[in-house]
Structure 1
Amino acid sequence: MKEIFAIVRMNKTGATKKALVEAGVAGFTAVKVSGRGKLVDDPAVVAGRKAAMMALADADEAGAEALIDGFLDGHRLFPRRLFIILAHDEDVPKIIEAIMQANRTEHKVGDGKIFVMPMLDAIRVRTGEAGKDAV
């Protein structure tokens, strides 16, 4: 068994849920989290993301620009969604592919991360089933 953690953009939550269901995932947990990944050093990519974010900003451009600059320079954390999935070993590749397809964007930054870890055991509280039967 494996445990899969997928950190995705908030606006990709619905697409990720749909992709997981279509991939046959029996169940998963989703939690609101915040964080940041590796900062992007390419000025062109940073300028492009800033322009796109400013286009979505409210009327308070000065406040929005300070907030966006804080995201892009690493001082602020981005809101994200964390999906936690327990899976049988043979299902992991199709689950990873489903998550990647649902979350890949043209932005060249911030599309998320997927972590796969071994799962020692799982127990279903209601029935006491353990191991693969509990997943």
Structure 2
Amino acid sequence: MKEIIAVVRINKVSATKKALVQVGAAGFTALKVMGRGRLVEDKAVIAERRATLLALAQKDDYNTEKLITEFLDGTRLFPRRMFTVLAHDEDVSKIVAAIIEANRTDYNVGDGKIFVLPVLDAVRVRTRESGDAAI
């Protein structure tokens, strides 16, 4: 038995839910979280992203520029969704593959992370079933 934790972009929540249902995940939980990943160190990429974000903002506003700068330099946390899935060992690889397929972008940064952890036990409250039967 494993626990799969996936942190994904907010705009990928629907695609992730659909992928988990299609692959046959028994159930999952999604939470609103805040965080940041590893910072991009390539100054050219940062400059390009800054210009793109400022153009999208369509304002010459100090606050907008400050928010974009904090986003790019890592001082600001940004919203994500965290999915938690309990899975039988034999289902882990197909669930992970489905999450990757639903969340991969061409941005080269910020597509999320997936963690796979062992689970010692699980208990279904309604029936008191434990172990694999509880999933």
Q: Please tell me the TM-score bracket, short chain as reference.
A: over 0.9
Shift of 1:60: 5.7
Matches within 5 A, 1:29-40: 29-40=29-40
Matched residue, 1:79: 79
Question: Which ranges of structure 1 fall in alignment gaps of 5 or more residues?
Answer: none
Matched residue, 2:128: 128
Shift of 1:66: 0.9
Shift of 1:51: 3.0
1:42/1:129 Cα in 2 relative to 1: closer, same or farther (>3 Å)?
same
Matched residue, 2:4: 4
Root-mean-square deviation (CA), in Å? Answer: 1.3
Shift of 1:85: 0.3
Q: 1:57-101: CA deviations, max 9, x gaps?
A: 264633212101101101100100000000000000010110001
CA distance in structure 2 between the aligned counterparts of 1:122 and 1:46, rounded to whole angstroms: 44
Matched residue, 1:101: 101
Number of aligned positions between the proteins: 135
TM-score by length of 2: 0.94
Residues 45 and 108 of structure 1 are in contact (CA less than 8 Å); yes or no, is this contact kept in structure 2?
no
TM-score by length of 1: 0.94
Question: Percent identical across equivalent pairs?
Answer: 64
